[in-house]
Amino acid sequence: MNTGAVRPKGQTENSDMNTSRSLAWLRERYDISGLELFFKKKEVPIHSHSLWYYFGGITLFFFVVQVITGIMLLLYYRPTAEAAFESVQFIMTEVRFGWLIRSIHSWSANLMVLAAFIHLFSVFFMRSYRRPRELTWISGVFLLLLSLGFGFSGYLLPWNELAFFATKVGTEIVAVVPFVGEFLLKFLRGGEEVTGATLTRFFGFHVAVLPMICTFLLAFHLLAVQKQGMSVPIAMENKPMRVMPFFPNFLMRDFLGWILALGVLVAIAALFPWELGVKADPFAPAPAGITPEWYFVFMFQTLKFIPAKIWFMEGEVLGVLAFAIAGVLLILVPFLDKKSNAGQPGKALSVIGVLVLVYIIVMTIISYVMPQTF
């Protein structure tokens, strides 16, 4: 069926005429021929793995949701140990639709991290990081780390019991970093202990420092993607392939993905409102069931499994160092993977990727199946 018949012909013509008038208005004032040419020429490859292209856009959508809902929460949130919990309580009970905004903000943060992880692994397995997209990959890995930073700093802001103790445990881990651990601990906490100073500090990171860095990195990441176009899996390179125009065909598909993501987000946020818990009491004993955010759980679980002493090193120090090295290796993947740069998809790297993915999933499941305190 011709879908063009759904709408009366006159309406389509009116719409096209309005678009042309707007473009003409812009052309009179600015030279947008380069931009127009870019949109006209840019094409997106279509193949059996095209679905994974959308996860970058979905991550970006959740980020935009975070920015909008975050600004709305800022209107009422007060970043002090005395008022933080009460202000979030006020948002959830007194502010019209405040419960929904806060719930969307919390759920969207988690979905954003999930989408970012899927995006990272899909890019990894498709070797999309290979030359000339090395910097796109590196900026992407840093953006994922920033997302984790957003999650860690935002978790404390409601100043509830679970967040307080999870932050206490989480920040304690940096203390084991050789030479600078103690300094990092004090820098993060704003003192020896997790106090109101930590909350104010985390608030600063969450709403100023991290967004500023994120804006620059994101701008670069998006610009690089637009400039270099979508990567094609190695196996399909230099072969006949179907393509679609980026504008408007692919962008509309992206838009459809965002709408569906919005539907999922709203449904989860409304059906499972994010809990507030009880106000943090620094003098109370740590309650049972303290868990970090799910995306940190595999690391915490690993640290728990590592023996207290391995050779001459503390087990925890070794674990933290191992994760740090893994992070560096992740960043350097485009330079380490010589084969894909030579146009050969190496199987070894795929096996490593699968093992890492399985490891993360298994460790996370173990942590939730075996209830424990951290």
Partner 1 sequence: MRFPEQKLIVSLVFLATATVAFCQEQGPASQVNSCISCHLEIGDELAVPIEGMKGDVHATKGLSCADCHGGDPTAGLDGDSDAAMDPAKGYVGIPDRMKIPEFCGRCHSDPVYMRGFNPRAATDQLDRYKTSRHGQLLRKGDRKVATCTDCHGVHGIQNARDSRSSVYPLNIPETCGRCHADSEYMQPYDVATDQLDDYRKSVHGMALLERGDQAAPACNDCHGNHGASPPGAPSVAFICGQCHLNNSEMFLSSPHKTAFDELELPECEACHGNHAIEHPTDEMIGVGESSICLDCHEEGSKAYDTAALIHDQISGLKERMFYADSLVSQAERAGMEVSEALFQLKDADDALIKARTMVHSLSGDETSIITEEGLGLVEQAVLAGKSALEEIQFRRKGLAVSLLFILILALGVYLKIKELDQKHPIREVK
Which residues contact partner 1 (rule: CB under 8 A)? 2-4, 6, 43, 46, 89, 92-93, 99-100, 240-245, 248-249, 252-253, 255-256, 259-260, 262-263, 266-267, 270-273, 275-276
Q: Which is nearer to partner 1, 50 or 122 (CB)?
A: 50
Q: Which is nearer to partner 1, 105 or 168 (CB)?
A: 105
Neighbours of 32 (CB within 10 A): 13
Structure tokens at 340: 């894909």
Structure tokens at 353: 């990727």
Nearest to 294 by CA among 161, 62, 101, 113: 113
Output the smallest distance, CB 155 to partner 1, in A: 19
Q: Which is nearer to partner 1, 47 or 304 (CB)?
A: 47
Whether 77 and 159 have beta carbons less than 8 Å apart is answered as: no
Q: Whole-angstrom Cα distance, residue 121 to residue 117?
A: 6
Output the smallest distance, CB 9 to partner 1, in A: 12
Whether 141 and 117 have beta carbons less than 8 Å apart is answered as: no
Q: Which is nearer to partner 1, 187 or 272 (CB)?
A: 272
Amino acid (1-letter code) at residue 294: W
**Chain centroid, CA 113 distance in Å:** 4
Q: Whole-angstrom Cα distance, residue 260 to residue 276?
A: 27
Neighbours of 332 (CB within 10 A): 14
Q: Which is nearer to partner 1, 93 or 350 (CB)?
A: 93
Output the smallest distance, CB 47 to partner 1, in A: 12
Output the smallest distance, CB 160 to partner 1, in A: 11
Output the smallest distance, CB 263 to partner 1, in A: 4
Amino acid (1-letter code) at residue 309: K
Output the smallest distance, CB 46 to partner 1, in A: 6
Q: Can you name the residues that pair with 43 across neighbouring β-strands?
A: 245
Q: Whole-angstrom Cα distance, residue 112 to residue 120?
A: 12
Q: Which is nearer to partner 1, 43 or 172 (CB)?
A: 43
**Chain centroid, CA 9 distance in Å:** 43
Question: Token pair 């925890």 is at which residue?
Answer: 316
Output the smallest distance, CB 118 to partner 1, in A: 21
Q: Which is nearer to partner 1, 2 or 33 (CB)?
A: 2
Structure tokens at 352: 């490593």
Output the smallest distance, CB 255 to partner 1, in A: 6
Q: Which is nearer to partner 1, 253 or 304 (CB)?
A: 253
